Amino acid sequence: MGACPTIETDRLVLRPFRDDDLDDYFAMMDTPEVRRWLHLSDKFDRDAAWAQMAGLVGQWTLRGTGYSRRGTLAWVRKMMERS
């Protein structure tokens, strides 16, 4: 399908995960607020964060989108067509 695109605005850059994002990603996912709202188990650790990052990157390779929910897929494809 293709690699995850980078989308930039004046105030925001959305880009694919890189290996060096792991520590920051896990730090964010490990906050009490994120754990509570995403219903993360106490077993969600750094290895689980890496697996989640790898899975999201793999979604782009296999399906051409970062998520597999139908509504999200349609929205992402629509945005991709606009750019």
Quick: pLDDT tens for 32-51. Answer: 999 999 899 999 999 999 99
Q: Is there a domain that residue 14 lies in?
A: no
Between 58 and 30, the higher pLDDT residue: 30
Q: Is there a domain that residue 41 lies in?
A: yes
Q: Is there a domain that residue 5 lies in?
A: no
User: Cβ(22)–Cβ(49) under 8 Å?
Assistant: yes
**62 vs 8: CA distance, rounded Å:** 23
Q: Is there a domain that residue 32 lies in?
A: yes
Prediction pTM value: 0.71
Q: Is there a domain that residue 1 lies in?
A: no
Q: Is there a domain that residue 64 lies in?
A: yes
The DSSP secondary structure of 6-19, one letter per residue, reads -EE-SS-EE----G
Instruction: List the domain range (segments joined by +) for residue 25.
Output: 20-82
Q: Is there a domain that residue 52 lies in?
A: yes
What is the count of structural domains for the chain?
1
User: Cβ(35)–Cβ(29) under 8 Å?
Assistant: yes
Q: Is there a domain that residue 10 lies in?
A: no
